[in-house]
Structure 1
Amino acid sequence: MLEEEKSLNFIEEIVAKDLSEGKNDGRVLTRFPPEPNGYLHIGHAKSICLNFSIANRFDGQTNLRFDDTNPVTEDVEYVNSIKQDIQWLGFQWANELYTSDYFDQLYEFAVELIRQGLAYVDDSTAEEIAAGKGTPTEPGVPTPYRDRSVEENLQLFQEMRDGVYPDGAKVLRAKIDLANPNMHLRDPLLYRIKHANHHRTGDKWKIYPMYDFAHGQSDAIEKITHSICTLEFIPHRPLYDWLINKLEIFPSKQYEFSRLNLNYTVMSKRKLLQLVNEGLVESWDDPRMPTISGLRRRGYTPASIRNFCERIGVQKRENMIDVGLLEFCIREDLNKTAWRRMAVIDPIKLVVTNYPEGKEEILVGENNPEVEGGEGSREIPFSRELWIEREDFMEDAPKKFFRLGPGLSVRLKHAYIVECHDFVKDESGKVTEVHVNYLPNSKSGEDTSGLKVKGTIHWVSVPHAKTVEVRLYDRLFQDENPAAAEDFRASINPESLQIVEQAYVEPDLANAELGRGYQFIRMGYYTLDTKSTPEHLVFNRTVTLRDSWAKEVKKG
């Protein structure tokens, strides 16, 4: 039955036990129930991977159900983005469903509770209801409307549905126990009035179910066997069970696991929306955002995110995960899959003075040396004038500087060994050109020079180089726990985005593919931006080659 023999997390152990006992007719049906009021983020990815992987492991299925019970904040844009994100992560749902599919059935459930004397219409204000619930140590106080007759409640609830009353005038509450230690069982709200156009049902409904009412009943309607939520829903579980029991519907069961808490990140939809609305980021898919669309645009791969979710596991208690682990996972994946290319971001000109003027030759480099066969190769033009990184030359080089300086030799990647013999400065004293001689018999793969050098640097041929824009992305926040700050925005990293308007890359990158990772040799991992054009190529840095933040922590 299991897709492979490996240790089970605690939820998988519950599923395996249920199957061994013959529960649910041997079925496993999970669901992922996002509210379409924003874009999914890396925390949702953990839930997606958990629900779909459990179903896959036990030959089950997963429903995608949009919890669309608040028409004011929901939009078709979010629906479409959620579907795209799930499929991009590599999963496909069995059924695409909406809580709004069940509005008629949920209304009938509410009517049934009223008929049983288990629900009533309350005219109290939100403030009066809150005050009447009491405190964790003091029981609540019933409102004057708690003992309305079944007939009156049925009539009032029908009038609520018909739009007779304005927003906030009345609510439907469950009639449970105002002295219960669990505050969620002190006559919780089931329905509220909301005169708003719904993205699927239009103006049909003037009342909408609360999450706690719609959640469990929707699970029961779909016959979900294992309803998996995060830990904050533990206090809600007794109400989930109470409603299912009183309505005598399919007994779906709720199980809880810890949500993903990631340092240097905020994952509150409200805070993320604030970043977008206040222009602190470009959009929901800004590559600095923890949204799945932002990670995708930055160059993260589905495999790296799935691997990250598997590595952090499924726990019963909250903990903080180091974002460095997520960055490790993308480095690990891109090291195996990214095509190697040369790019110069801070250029200085290198002139090979003994290379014939006008001469050009074509060298060859593997796309990915980490893979047997290299995944093919590309042609790299070589000429007398090259761009190199400014940091690869020093006028007064220290003893262990294995790059270029007066009298120093290096190998040009895929090309020749060169020795520096001169350099040129401008009026300000800034080096503008470095002059070298090359050894014609030192060509990579054909070297007969016998000369050994300790350094290899990358380069791009000046007449063949493609000019591109490079965006150097870093963590959006400087503080480890920005969500805990009085104003999380104060923690924004002013260097989270640096734009290099004119960098030079191999001409092959004029044909860069969207969604493919590229390792700019010695520089980091990059990907073509989704808003790039053939006339204006833009590359986003996914991640550096090494964890530069770890060095900063050690310094501190």
Structure 2
Amino acid sequence: RQGDKWCIYPLYDYAHPIQDALEGITHSLCSIEFENHRPLYEWVIDNLGFENKPKQREFARLNVTHTVMSKRYLRKLVEEGLVDGWDDPRMPTLSGLRRRGYTPSAIFDFVSRAGVAKAYSVVDYELLEHCIREELNESAERRIAVLHPIKVVITNYPEDKVEYFEVANNPQKPECGTRRVPFTREVYIDADDFAEVPPPKFFRMKPGSEVRLMGAYIVKCNEVIKNSDGSLKEIRCTADLETGNGMPTDGRKVKGTIHWLSSSFAKDTTVRLYDFLFDIENTADIPEDKTYDDYLNKASVTEIRGAKIEEALSEAPAGERFQFVRCGYFVKDTKCENVFNRIVGLKDSFPKAQK
């Protein structure tokens, strides 16, 4: 519209300081490539006589392992359907982190620990995981989920009996109280907690051995029932009914403890386990003859259908976070019905010296 009335180039360098001055900005923080633009920024401010004189300061971009911060490439992932939108839980966007279950305070803690510098650096993604894990360990209530359920029948327990055990909502915070978890003749345990031919030092359920059902009885695995195709159908056990939430009276030691859910009360859900978006640790190291596409992690999400959860979890509001006992921290998805996203696992591999 102005034609050749105004000869201003580049327009961004002209508009940037004016807008900052008009809006009362004190410091304009830019990535390091704008360092050479600072003299022009200051010249515009000085020569237009603004009372408010903002200052431009530059710092290196926040680079995180196993991901990219390029909006151009992230847009490509969205437009090509390689991720589920800008809020896909694998995306390094605020909306993606929010849907993944990260809290504002954990992100702020991460940025604070990473610090600000002018030199190029890459921050380990595990620091971000450590920050949210540390927060949720204190704040998240515990619930039980069996991701890969196998049926266990306790043959010496009455078929029509329902018993309730008191379980802490958060051992870190006694003020969170307890809840009652139902116990019945048939329960689910996780497939990872059973081995028909166990490796050395396997202290979970195995034929002929005892294991503690967390918060309930000690049971002994007596028989493994299989389907006609050889797959596992159910496990038959007997319970020491004198050990309800207590130790054996004869003093014998039981090393393993596993989580469980009553098959009569458990509800079905879908669980999504997320991994890094890229296989390569530092995407800046990608060779010139390769592209980001060559290093996309094709197994960055695993969907588990038919996982079992406590009855109350099916009624939990979207966005609520929990620790699934022995499994990790999870959040109820805000877009999909009856889906839980894993925020982070329980194990903290980030070196203590770097925390």
Normalised TM-score (structure 1)? 0.60
Which structure would you say has the larger RCO, counting Cα contacts within 8 Å and 6 or more residues apart? 2
Q: Within the alignment, does 1:319 sit opposite 2:118 as a pair?
A: no
Matched, 1:360 2:181: no
Provide the residue aligned with 2:301 in structure 1. Answer: 497
Q: Write the deviation string for residues 452-491 of structure 1: whole angstroms up to 9, x where unpaired.
A: 3111101111111100011111111111133554421221
1:270 to 50, 55, 72: 72
The Cα offsets for residues 182-240 of structure 1, whole Å up to 9 and x where unpaired, read as: xxxxxx422xxxxxxxxxxxxxxxxxxxx221111112123322222222211110110
More helix by share: 1
Shift of 1:445: 5.1
Match of 1:462 in 2: 263
1:307-386 matched pairs, under 5 angstroms: 307-373=109-175, 375-386=176-187
Aligned: 1:511 with 2:315? yes
Within the candidate set 165, 190, 202, 1:389 is matched to: 190
Residues 1:189 and 2:10 aligned together: yes
Indicate if the aligned counterparts of 2:163 and 2:183 stay in contact, CA closer than 8 A: yes
Percent identity reads 49
Query: Structure 1 residue 349: deviation in Å?
Result: 0.8
Distance 1:538 1:171, change over 3 A: farther
Counterpart-to-counterpart distance in 2, 1:439 and 1:173? 89
Report the AA paired with residue 199 of structure 2: P
Change (3 A) 1:403 1:313: same
The 8 Å contact of residues 171 and 189 in structure 1, kept in 2 or not, is answered as: no
Q: Is the 8 A contact 2:197 2:206 kept in 1?
A: yes
Matched, 1:526 2:347: no
- State the distance in 2 between where 1:544 and 1:227 align: 37
Moved more, 240-249 or 507-516: 507-516
Q: Hey, what's the Cα distance between the residues in 2 that align with 1:372 and 1:234?
A: 52
User: Which residue number in structure 2 is paired with residue 205 of structure 1?
Assistant: none
State yes or no: 1:279 paired with 2:81.
Answer: yes
TM-score under structure 2 length normalisation: 0.92
For 1:288 and 1:481, locate their aligned partners in 2 and report how far apart those are by CA, in whole Å: 16
Work out whether 1:293 is the aligned partner of 2:95. Answer: yes
Output the amino acid matched with 1:487: T
Task: Give, as a single letter, the amino acid of the residue that structure 1 aligns with 2:272.
Answer: R
Residue identity opposite 2:258 in structure 1: I
1:414 to 2:215 alignment: yes
Of residues 9, 28, 38 in structure 2, which corresponds to 1:237? Answer: 38
SS across alignment from 1:311: helix
1:478 to 279, 291, 300: 279
Instruction: Pick the structure with more strand per residue.
Output: 2
Shift of 1:548: 7.5
Give the whole-Å Cα distance in 1 for the aligned partners of 2:98 and 2:317: 14
- 1:404 aligned onto 2:225: no
- Whole-Å Cα distance in 2 between the matches of residues 422 and 549 of structure 1? 41
Q: 2:126 touches 2:349 (CA, 8 Å); kept in 1? A: no
Determine if contact 1:439/1:449 at 8 Å carries over to the other structure: no
Match of 1:74 in 2: none
Counterpart contact for 2:321–2:329, Cα < 8 Å: yes
Distance 1:316 1:268 in 2: 18
Where 1:442 maps in the other structure, the secondary structure is coil
Q: Which residue of 2 aligns with 1:554?
A: none
Give the counterpart letter for 2:165 in structure 1.
Answer: L
Give, in whole Å, the separation in 2 of the partners of 1:510 and 1:326: 28
Superposed counterparts of 1:537-556, under 5 Å: 537-546=338-347
1:182 aligns with none
Alpha-carbon contact 2:151-2:187 (below 8 Å) kept? yes
If you compute each CA radius of gyration, which structure gives the higher value, 1 or 2?
A: 1
Distance 2:278 2:340 in 1: 22
1:547 deviates by 5.3
Letter in 2 for 1:497: V
Could you say which residue in structure 2 is the equivalent of 1:132? none
In structure 1, C-alpha distance between the alignment counterparts of 2:137 and 2:198, rounded to whole Å? 31
Question: What SS is found at the alignment partner of 1:386?
Answer: strand
Q: CA deviation at 1:318?
A: 1.9
The alignment partner of 2:78 has SS state of: helix
Q: Is the partner of 2:174 in helix, strand or coil?
A: coil
Q: Deviations over 1:258-277 (max 9, x none)?
A: 22011111111111111110
Structure 2 contact 212–218 (Cα < 8 Å) conserved: yes
Whole-Å Cα distance in 2 between the matches of residues 483 and 278 of structure 1? Answer: 22
Q: Aligned runs of 1:51-90 on 2, under 5 Å?
A: none
**Aligned equivalents of 2:150 and 2:5: distance in 1?**
70
Question: CA separation in 2, counterparts of 1:378 and 1:393?
Answer: 27
d(CA) in 2 for partners of 1:317, 1:336: 35
Q: Which residue of 2 aligns with 1:216?
A: 17
CA 261–399 in structure 1, closer or farther in 2 if over 3 Å, else same? closer
| Unpaired runs of at least 5, structure 1 | 1-159, 175-187, 191-210, 551-556
Q: Do the aligned residues in 2 keep the contact of 1:458 with 1:521 (CA within 8 Å)?
A: yes
Residue 254 of structure 2 corresponds to residue 450 of structure 1:
no
Structure-2 separation of matches of 1:233 and 1:420:
67
Shift of 1:288: 0.6
More deviation, 405-414/224-233: 224-233
Shift of 1:431: 2.1
Q: CA deviation at 1:446?
A: 7.7
SS of 1:285 mapped into structure 2 = coil
The answer (yes or no) to whether the contact 1:173–1:189 under 8 Å persists in 2 is: no
Residue 427 of structure 1 and its aligned partner are, at CA, apart by 2.1
The alpha carbon displacement at 1:450 in A equals 3.4
Partner of 1:430: 231
Give ranges in structure 2 of 5+ residues lacking alignment: none
Q: Which residue type is aligned with residue 164 of structure 2?
A: I
Q: Is the 8 A contact 1:422 1:435 kept in 2?
A: yes
Amino acid at match of 2:18: Q
Change (3 A) 1:216 1:295: same
d(CA) in 2 for partners of 1:359, 1:325: 47
In the TM superposition, residue 293 of structure 1 has moved relative to its aligned partner by 0.9
Give the letter for the 2:143 counterpart.
R
